[in-house]
Amino acid sequence: ITVVTWNVGTAMPPNDVTSLLHLNTGETNDVDMIAIGLQEVNSKINKRLKDALFTDQWSELFMDALSPFHFVLVSTERMQGVILLVFAKYYHLPFLQDIQTDCTRTGLGGYWGNKGGVSVRLSVFGHMVCFLNCHLPAHMEKAEQRKEDFATILHMQQFEGRTASGILDHDLVFWFGDLNFRIESLDIRFVKYAIDSNILSQLWEKDQLNIAKTTWPVLNGFQEGPLNFPPTFKFDVGTNKYDSSAKKRKPAWTDRILWKIKAPSVGLGAGGRRHSPGVLSVTQLCYCSHMEYTSSDHKPVAAIFAVQFASKADKPPVEIYVADEWSRPEQAIVRYKMAAGFHRSSWDWIGLYRVGFRHPKDYVSYVWARNDDGERCLEKQLSVSGLQVMFSEETLPKGKGEYILGYYSNTSSSIAGVTEPFQISLPRLEEGSSPSDSSGSSSEEEDDSTLVLLAPKSRSPSPGKMKRHRSRSPSLAKFQGLILRPSSRERGTSRSPSPQSRRALAGDIPTIHLCQEEAGRCAAKAKEAADSQEGNSFYQTVREWGGGPRRVSADNPLARADPRNLGLLPALRLEMIDQAMGRRRESGDQGYPCRRMSPTSPPGCSTSPKEGSSP
C-alpha cells in the first residue's frame, strides 16, 4: 500500500506525478493500493461549482497517471480543499467491499471545512482498513488545539455496520496529512544548520508530534517511521529554499504519515470474527519527501507499506464467465453466478470496460443484471451455469481491443466481480454505407458538450456516455439524471431559443416605431448626452435605418426595454413613424413580403431591409 500526502497550496496540478507515485520504479508492480491525501486544493466558489459537475483537475491528474498501470479509483471524499483518493488494481476490486466515507469540519468551531478530516473505510480481503486524511490547525502555539481537533475527528466519524463503527475500531488505520506539528525550543539558525549538516536526529526529540505520541492518550498505538528526510515546510514557492520572507518561519515536519494496528484480542469479536495475536503485520518499506515538486510551499511525502494479513477472502461476491474473444455480436453473452448471501438489487448492472479504465463509471457499454421475480426460480435451476445476459449489437464497440467485464453492485456502490481481459474484434461499419446514415449517430458520439436531463423513467446507472477528455466523474453519481447531448453547433451558432438561432436574412431585424415628437426628444437627449459622455459604456449604439449611429441613454425607459438586454432578440432599430410608413409603401411597390416580426412591433407588418444592409 502506497500513501501520499501533499499540501498543494491552491496551486495548479503539475504535468507529471510519476516520481511522486513511484511509478518509474519496479515497486509499482508490487503495489496493490494507493491512497492520496491532498490539502489546500483551490476551493473558491467558481472552482467548487465546476468541480461539482466535472471531476476536479487533481483527481483527473492522478486517474490519468495511474490508469495505464491498471489502477482504478475505488472511492473519493472531498471537504472544501481537503481531498482523499483511494486506488486499487482492477483485479482487487471484488475484494474491496463495505466502502464508506465521512468528513468532519473543525475550522471556525466546526462550521468551516478548511480544517478537519476526510476518511475512506473499506473491507480489504475481509479486513477492515481506514484511511484518514487530516488538515489540523497551524502555528507553533496551537499544539493543544491540534490534539483536540484530532480527538473530535475520531469521535465524530462513525460508520454503519457492527464490525468497525469508529475509526479506531478498524484493524488497520492510516493517518496522514498536513498535521502542522512544529519543532519546539530550537532556534531557527540551529534548525537550518542541522538540516544543512544532515544531523536531523537532533531535531526529532523537539518535534511536537514525537512528544505527543508519548504524552497524549489519543495517540497510543500510532507508529511512524524515522524522519530521514528534511522538514517539508516552509519553502519559497518555485524553489527548494526555506522561507526567506519577513516572517521567516522555522522549518518543520508538518506533513506526516502514521499507522495504527488494532490491538489483538483472543475470542470472538464483533460480528463473530475470531481475533488472535499476530493477525496483522505492517512493515514500512519507504518514507521520503519529494523535493522535485516546487509548486507549493510544502513538499509532498510518500510512504510504502507491506501489509500481511493472516487470512484472505479469495472468493468474489460475483463470478463472471465470458468467452476469450467476441468476434461476432451473438458471442456477447455474459454468464454470472452470485455467492450465497450476496445482496442483489434491481439496479445492478454489468459494465464493459476498456483495459485501463479509470473508475467504475468509466464504461464503454452496460447491460442491466437480470432481477425479476421469475428469475428467482430460474436461478435455483441454473445453480451451475448461473444467470446470463447479452449485449446488443449496437452497444458493442467496433474494431479490435482488450476489454474487461465488471458487475457493479448498487447496494455496495462497488464492483463485485470482474473478468480477466478478453478480446473484442468486431468489424467496423461497412464500406459503402451512406455517410448520411451515420451522421446523426456520429455527431451524437463526438459532441457531448451540453448537459441535459434524462427522462424520469430512465434507469441509467450513471451520467451518460462521455468522452475521455470530459470524464464521467465518480462524484456525478449524486446527479444520476445527468447525461450529455450534442450541442447546437450543427443547428447554428446560438444555443438560445431566441430568433438568433435561426439563420435568417439580414432583414429579420425587429423594429420599434416612435412617434415624431418622441423620436425628436430621444434624438436631442441622445445628442446632448453623447457630447458629454462620449465613449461611456452606459450608452448603447442604435443604428437607424438609413443613417449613422445614434446613442440612447441607458437611463431611458426605451433603453431599459431593449430586448437585447433581456437576451431575447438579436438587434434593435429605431425609426420615425413617418419614415416607417413611407418605406412600407415603397416595399409594397417592390413586392417585399409583409410579416409581423415580434411582440414589440406595432400592429401591421414590418419589412425586411434592402439587400446588403446590416443590423
| Cut 0.85: pTM above it | no
What are the residue ranges in the chain where pLDDT is below 70? 26-28, 48, 51-52, 265-278, 371-385, 429-615
R_g of the chain computed on alpha carbons:
33
| Sign of the four-CA dihedral 600, 601, 604, 608 | negative
Taking only the tens place, the pLDDT of each residue in 273-297 is 444 445 799 999 999 999 999 999 9
Q: Which residues of 3-31 are buried (b: 16+ CB within 10 A; e: fewer)?
A: bbbbbbbebebeeebeebbbbeeeebeeb
CATH topology assigned to domain 318-371+384-426: Immunoglobulin-like (2.60.40)
Alpha carbon distances (Å) from 150 to 3, 145, 156, 318: 19, 8, 10, 39
Q: Which of 232, 253, 235 has the alpha carbon at shortest distance from 295?
A: 235
Q: Which of 50, 38, 49 has the alpha carbon at shortest distance from 13?
A: 38
In this prediction, residue 578 carries a pLDDT of: 56
- 3-state secondary structure at position 294: coil
Helix (H) or strand (E) holding 213: helix 208-215
- 3-state secondary structure at position 44: coil
CA distance 57 to 63: 10
| Sign of the four-CA dihedral 514, 515, 516, 517 | negative
- 3-state secondary structure at position 488: coil
Taking only the tens place, the pLDDT of each residue in 442-499 is 434 444 433 333 333 334 444 344 333 333 334 434 444 444 444 443 444 333 333 3
How would you classify the pairing of strands 172-178 and 127-135?
parallel
| Residues 6+ positions from 34 with CB-CB distance below 8 Å | 1, 2, 3, 4, 21, 66, 71, 86, 87, 88
In this prediction, residue 59 carries a pLDDT of: 96
**Amino acid, res. 318:** V
CA 439 to chain centre: 31
CA distance 207 to 146: 14
> Do the Cβ atoms of 466 and 452 come closer than 8 Å?
no
* CATH number for the domain formed by residue range(s) 2-46+54-264+278-308: 3.60.10.10
CA distance 328 to 427: 9
Helix (H) or strand (E) holding 543: strand 539-543
Peptide bond into 234 cis (omega under 30): yes
C-alpha cell at 353: 470496460
C-alpha cell at 335: 454468464
C-alpha cell at 29: 508492480
Alpha carbon distances (Å) from 606 to 32, 96, 356, 386, 609: 73, 70, 61, 72, 9
In this prediction, residue 374 carries a pLDDT of: 44
In this prediction, residue 267 carries a pLDDT of: 52
Q: Which residues of 468-496 are buried (b: 16+ CB within 10 A; e: fewer)?
A: eeebbbbbbbeeeebbbebebeeeeeeee
Sheet strands (E) in 382-471: 387-390, 399-409, 414-418, 422-426, 450-453
Q: Which of 544, 549, 596, 547 has the alpha carbon at shortest distance from 575?
A: 544
Taking only the tens place, the pLDDT of each residue in 497-548 is 333 333 443 444 444 444 555 555 545 555 555 454 444 443 344 343 444 4
- 3-state secondary structure at position 338: strand
CA distance 499 to 492: 11
> Do the Cβ atoms of 608 and 502 come closer than 8 Å?
no
Domain parsing of the chain, residue ranges: 2-46+54-264+278-308, 318-371+384-426
> Do the Cβ atoms of 151 and 137 come closer than 8 Å?
no
CA distance 357 to 414: 14
For residue 359, the number of C-alpha atoms closer than 13 Å in the C-beta half-sphere is: 25
In this prediction, residue 265 carries a pLDDT of: 67
- 3-state secondary structure at position 447: coil
C-alpha cell at 351: 459494465
CA distance 200 to 194: 6
Q: Which of 265, 316, 337, 281 has the alpha carbon at shortest distance from 125?
A: 316
> Do the Cβ atoms of 363 and 312 come closer than 8 Å?
no
Taking only the tens place, the pLDDT of each residue in 388-432 is 999 999 999 999 999 999 999 999 999 999 999 999 999 986 544
Q: Which of 397, 416, 411 has the alpha carbon at shortest distance from 352?
A: 397
In this prediction, residue 50 carries a pLDDT of: 72
Whether 2-46+54-264+278-308 shares its CATH topology with 318-371+384-426 is answered no
In this prediction, residue 380 carries a pLDDT of: 44
Q: Which of 579, 457, 569, 586 has the alpha carbon at shortest distance from 510?
A: 569
